[in-house]
C-alpha cells in the first residue's frame, strides 16, 4: 500500500522493518531518597552529555542546550519544592518539565517553539536516569516510528536507524537537522504502523510503501549513492564543522569547503583554545582536503543563538573580536601558520560585516599579525549577511571572495527567523533574488569569487534561481549533494532546450 507523507524533513530512500520507540514509564515503587535520586540523575545526565560532546564535537551546539536546561538551578529548585510537598520525584520532574515546555510552546518565537522537543528530550534523559532505565533497541537496523523522535536517541542509534517516520516534527528541529547530517530519511505521517512491519520510504515520490515488493526494495540500493555529478563551470561546496565533515565532502566529490564553522570547537570547551590546539584541529581538517581543493575558515561567529560563556560580546560580528582580541589572534595565527606551513588552498572569511570599514579593520589586523610572526596571508573574504553591507557592496575593497549568508541576511532584511525561513520562503524569495544582481556584477567586475551559503541554497528550485542570476557556487551540508545534483541538472537541461 502507498501512503502519501505529510511532509519531508530529510531526503532519501530507505527500506527496513518498523521499530516503535517505547514511551517512558514512570516508576514510583520506591519514593525514598528522592532528593538523592534527583541529584544523581542530574549528575549522570550531565556526564552523558559531556561524553557525547567529546565523541561528536559537531553536535556541541545542540548538546549545550540540553546541558543548560538540565543544570538550570531554577529547574531543580522547583522540583525540590514539589518533593518537599511529598510529591514523588518522577511526578515532580514531569510536572516541572511540562510547565517549562508549555512556556516554550506558547512563545511567539519559532525558534523557542522548536526547542520544546529539546526540553522533552532533557526530561526523558533525567527520568531514565532516575530509574536507571535502559532503552532497548533491536539488534538489526530499523525504521524508527514514533510520536516524537528525540535528538539524543538519534545520536545514540545513528548507525542503526535507517529512516524515521514521526507523527510530529519541524524542519528546523534538532532531530531533523541531525537526520540530514546523518543522511537519514525523515518524514511526517499520521498513519499507524506496527512493530516489525516492512516499509519503504521514498521522499522523491513523497510516499511510504508498506510491504514493498522485491522490485521496490531494490530501488533503495541506489539511494545511498551520494556523488556529485559532473558540473563544469560550477562549484559544489560543502559546509563543515570537523575533519570528518571535510572527509565526507571529499568522498562525495565536492569542490571544496565553502564554510568551516570554527566556533563549533569552542562550544565543546569551558575555556578558549590555544593557538597550538587550534593549529592541530584545523590541520586535521586541511589534511582531509584533496590537494586540488580549497577550504574557507570562518573566524568564530558567536552571539544570538550561539553563546559561549568565556566570549564577551554584545552583538555578532567585529564586536566579537574587539572585545576578545586574544581569542581572535590565537585563531588567526593558527590558520596563518597552517597556510604558511602547507601548500593547501586555505582562505579566511569574516562573518557579519556591516560596513567596508569593518572589513578593512579586520584585514589590517590579519596583515599585522602575519607581519609580526613572519606568516603568509591567505585570501581574505567576507560573508554578506547584512542589509547594510548589501547596500554598500560597491564600496568594499581588497576582498578576494564573498559568501552570501542567506540565513542571517533573510533575518536582517525581512525579520524572518532562520528557523522559519524555509517554511516562509514564498514571502521573500522573489525580492531577495532581485536584490542580488548588483552583487554579481560587482564580483564579476572585481574578479571576486562569489558563492551562496545557507539553508535555502540546498532547495533545488531556489538553487536554480541563483544559477539564473549568475551565482554558480553553492555551499551546503555534504549530505545534500544529491539536491545540488538535481538543481544543476534541472537548470542545465532547461538552458539547453
pLDDT band for 50, please (50, 70, 90 cuts).
confident
pLDDT digits (tens, 9 = 90+) for 376-434: 999 999 999 999 999 999 999 999 999 999 989 999 999 987 667 777 889 999 999 99
CATH superfamily, domain 235-496, is: Phosphoenolpyruvate-binding domains (3.20.20.60)
- With 0-12 / 13-18 / 19 or more C-beta atoms within 10 angstroms meaning exposed / middle / buried, residue 60 is buried
pLDDT at residue 319 above 60? yes
* pLDDT higher at 224 or 65: 65
Pairwise CA distance, residues 4 & 11, whole Å: 15
Pairwise CA distance, residues 223 & 207, whole Å: 15
pLDDT digits (tens, 9 = 90+) for 144-170: 999 888 777 887 788 899 999 999 887
Pairwise CA distance, residues 425 & 139, whole Å: 41
Q: What is the mean pLDDT of the segment spanning 242-257?
A: 92
Q: What is the CATH number of domain 2-22+135-219?
A: 3.50.30.10
Among the listed ranges 107-111, 138-142, 368-372, which one has the minimum average pLDDT value?
107-111
Within 8 A by CB and 6+ apart from 153, the residues are 21, 121, 135, 144
CB 283 within 8 A of CB 338: yes
pLDDT at residue 291 above 50? yes
| Helix 60-71 / helix 116-130 crossing angle, nearest 10 deg | 60
With residue 155 as reference, give the H or E element that holds it: helix 151-156
Pairwise CA distance, residues 136 & 201, whole Å: 24
How high is the pLDDT of residue 205?
77
Nearest Cα neighbor of 89 from 123, 38, 24, 23 is 38
Q: What is the CATH number of domain 34-130?
A: 1.10.274.10
pLDDT band for 29, please (50, 70, 90 cuts).
very low
Percent of the chain with pLDDT over 90: 45
How high is the pLDDT of residue 281?
93
Q: Where along the chain do the CATH 1.10.274.10 domains lie?
A: 34-130
Grid coordinates representing 272 are 578558549
> Can you give the pTM of this predicted structure?
0.69
Q: Where along the chain do the CATH 3.50.30.10 domains lie?
A: 2-22+135-219
pLDDT band for 338, please (50, 70, 90 cuts).
very high
* Mean pLDDT score of the chain: 86
Nearest Cα neighbor of 173 from 242, 116, 97, 102 is 116
Among the listed ranges 107-111, 167-171, 214-218, 458-462, which one has the minimum average pLDDT value?
107-111
Amino acid at each position: 500500500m502507498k501512503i502519501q507523507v505529510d511532509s519531508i524533513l530529510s531526503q532519501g530512500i530507505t527500506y527496513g522493518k518498523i521499530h516503535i520507540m517505547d514511551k517512558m514509564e514512570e516508576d514510583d515503587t520506591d519514593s525514598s531518597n528522592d532528593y538523592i535520586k534527583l541529584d544523581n540523575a542530574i549528575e549522570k545526565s550531565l556526564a552523558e552529555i559531556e561524553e557525547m560532546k567529546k565523541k561528536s564535537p559537531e553536535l556541541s551546539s545542540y548538546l549545550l542546550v540540553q546541558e543548560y536546561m538540565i543544570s538550570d538551578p531554577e529547574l531543580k529548585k522547583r522540583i525540590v519544592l514539589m518533593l518537599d510537598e511529598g510529591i514523588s520525584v518522577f511526578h515532580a520532574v514531569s510536572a516541572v518539565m511540562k510547565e517549562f515546555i508549555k512556556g516554550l510552546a506558547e512563545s511567539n518565537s519559532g525558534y523557542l517553539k522548536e526547542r520544546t522537543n529539546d526540553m522533552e528530550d532533557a526530561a526523558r534523559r533525567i527520568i531514565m536516569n532516575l530509574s536507571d532505565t535502559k532503552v532497548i533497541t533491536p539488534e538489526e537496523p530499523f525504521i524508527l516510528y514514533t510520536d516524537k523522535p528525540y535528538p539524543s536517541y538519534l545520536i545514540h542509534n545513528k548507525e542503526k536507524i535507517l529512516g524515521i517516520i514521526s507523527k510530529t516534527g519541524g524542519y528546523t528541529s534538532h532531530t531533523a537537522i541531525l537526520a540530514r547530517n546523518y543522511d537519514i530519511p525523515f518524514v511526517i505521517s499520521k498513519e499507524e504502523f506496527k512493530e516489525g512491519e516492512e516499509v519503504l520510504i521514498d521522499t522523491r515520490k513523497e510516499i511510504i510503501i508498506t510491504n514493498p515488493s522485491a522490485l521496490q526494495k531494490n530501488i533503495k540500493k541506489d539511494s545511498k549513492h551520494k556523488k556529485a555529478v559532473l558540473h563544469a563551470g560550477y562549484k559544489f561546496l560543502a559546509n563543515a564543522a570537523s575533519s570528518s565533515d571535510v572527509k565526507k565532502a571529499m568522498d562525495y566529490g565536492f569542490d571544496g569547503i565553502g564554510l568551516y564553522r570554527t566556533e563549533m570547537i569552542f562550544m565543546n570547551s569551558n575555556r578558549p583554545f590555544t593557538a597550538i590546539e587550534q593549529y592541530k584541529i584545523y590541520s586535521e581538517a586541511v589534511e582531509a582536503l584533496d590537494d586540488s581543493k580549497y577550504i574557507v575558515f570562518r573566524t568564530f561567529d558567536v552571539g544570538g543563538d550561539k553563546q559561549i560563556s568565556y566570549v564577551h560580546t554584545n552583538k555578532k560580528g567585529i564586536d566579537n573580536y574587539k572585545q576578545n582580541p586574544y581569542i581572535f589572534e590565537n585563531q588567526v595565527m593558527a590558520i596563518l601558520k597552517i597556510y604558511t606551513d602547507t601548500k593547501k588552498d586555505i582562505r579566511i572569511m569574516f562573518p557579519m560585516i556591516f560596513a567596508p570599514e569593518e572589513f578593512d579593520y579586520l584585514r589590517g589586523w590579519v596583515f599585522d599579525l602575519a607581519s609580526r610572526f613572519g606568516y603568509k596571508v591567505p585570501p581574505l573574504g567576507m560573508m554578506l549577511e547584512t542589509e547594510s553591507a548589501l547596500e554598500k557592496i560597491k564600496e568594499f575593497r581588497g576582498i578576494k571572495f564573498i559568501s552570501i549568508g542567506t540565513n542571517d541576511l533573510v533575518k536582517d532584511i525581512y525579520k524572518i527567523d532562520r528557523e522559519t525561513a524555509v517554511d516562509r520562503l514564498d514571502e521573500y524569495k522573489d525580492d531577495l533574488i532581485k536584490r542580488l544582481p548588483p552583487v554579481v556584477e560587482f564580483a564579476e567586475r572585481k574578479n571576486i569569487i562569489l558563492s551562496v551559503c545557507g539553508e535555502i541554497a540546498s532547495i533545488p528550485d531556489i538553487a536554480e534561481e541563483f544559477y539564473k542570476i549568475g551565482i554558480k557556487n553553492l555551499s551546503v551540508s555534504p549530505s545534500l549533494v544529491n539536491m545540488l545534483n538535481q538543481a544543476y541538472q534541472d537548470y542545465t537541461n532547461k538552458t539547453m532546450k
